[in-house]
Amino acid sequence: MGDDDHELLEELPELADLVLAIVDQIPEGRVVTYGDIAAVAGSGPRQVGSVMSGYGSMVAWWRVLRADGRPPQGHEDEAIAHYREEDTPMRNGRVDLRRARFPLDEVEGVRPA
């Protein structure tokens, strides 16, 4: 993230700041679900979705997806292009969560709620 993004983060609600910090640490080719983030952030998947809807453009938003491996709704084509570029494991048009899921216990500064 650039300096301008860090300045904006100072103005974000606490949950948004936490969610974006988590997403920012997901490596290329790996993904998490809204529920994965919610479990460590102490919120619900819908709240994580709201954060991503409002602020996701600040991070690699395509690395956060639904529990069934489908990319974010309305952004499928762009997300799939990112998955291909990053060699994210896919199967039948969806991300293969078994192979691509990133364990959030490896994320710095985040403890499971």
Beta bridge partners of 90: 95
The tokens for 5 are 């993004």
What integer pLDDT is reported at residue 5 of this predicted model? Answer: 45
- Average pLDDT over the chain, rounded to whole? 87
Q: What is the mean pLDDT of residues 59-71?
A: 95
Give the type of residue at 37.
Answer: I
Q: Which residue has the higher pLDDT, 111 or 55?
A: 55
Confidence band of 12 (pLDDT split at 50, 70, 90): low
Q: What is the pLDDT of residues 86-112, one digit of tens each?
A: 999 999 989 999 999 999 987 776 655
SS3 letters across the chain? CCHHHHHHHCCCCHHHHHHHHHHCCCCCCCEEEHHHHHHHHCCCHHHHHHHHHHHHHHCCHHHEECCCCCCCCCCHHHHHHHHHHCCCCEECCEECHHHHECCHHHCCCCCCC
Q: What's the pTM value of the predicted model, to 2 decimals?
A: 0.84
What integer pLDDT is reported at residue 110 of this predicted model? Answer: 64
Q: Which residue has the higher pLDDT, 3 or 78?
A: 78
Domains of the chain: 3-103 (1.10.10.10)
pLDDT of 82 strictly over 80:
yes
Alpha-carbon span 98 to 40, nearest angstrom = 19
